[in-house]
Amino acid sequence: MTGLRIPRRIALIAIAVLVGAASAASFAESYCGLFLWALHHGLRGCWAAGFPLQVDVFIAVGELALFVALADQWAARSRIAAWAVTAAGLLVSVAGNVGHIAGNDLASRATAAIPRWLPRQRWQSGSACSSGWWHPGRDRTTRPTC
């Protein structure tokens, strides 16, 4: 086991870097989609800019609580609140990211949901602004910037 100590540490560092990068990309993608949703629904200025943070902060807090629960080996019953906060934030975020797109086809809606859904799987066992691409009324010949 002592011969694997350094490779194990390198693997753990690589995992932490990859999870961090995927989380950053996921939150950036979700921020863009929720920002566009807020603009489409009449929010302007700091209200539109703050709306995505109000939604996604619940996911971040819930995931951090789940990480602490894992590290501190909380009893399963003690993790219920952290799971509830994470799930509620995830559902609202996915709904906002899916709800703002113009297309009704499954592929468009799944593409909008993926930035919020897939990264959540990391703690529970990843940017271009692609969700804005389907924003209603947007010129689809050029990519939007967020």
pLDDT value at residue 50: 92
pLDDT attached to residue 115: 58
How far apart, in whole angstroms, are the C-alpha atoms of residue 26 and residue 8?
27
1 within some domain:
no
**Residue 40 forms part of a structural domain:** yes
> pLDDT value at position 93?
86
Instruction: Identify the residue whose tokens are 């897939």.
Output: 118
Nearest to 108 by CA among 89, 141, 133: 133
pLDDT at 139: 46
> Does residue 38 lie in a domain region?
yes
Express each pLDDT in 101-145 by its tens digit.
767 777 777 776 665 555 444 444 433 333 343 344 444 444 445
User: What digits encode the pLDDT tens for the residues 54-106?
Assistant: 988 988 898 899 889 988 999 989 889 999 988 998 888 888 878 767 677 77
Residue 13, in any domain of the structure: no
Residue 4: inside a domain: no
Q: Is residue 51 part of a domain?
A: yes
What is the tens place of the pLDDT at every residue in 7-63?
999 999 999 899 889 888 888 888 888 898 888 888 899 999 999 999 889 888 988
CB 89 within 8 A of CB 83: no
Cα separation, 82 vs 7, in Å, equals: 33
Does 139 map to a domain? no
Quote the domain boundaries for residue 64: 18-134
pLDDT of the residue at 68: 92
Domain count for the chain, please give it.
1
| pLDDT of amino acid 143 | 42
Residue 114 lies in a domain: yes
pTM (2 decimals)? 0.65
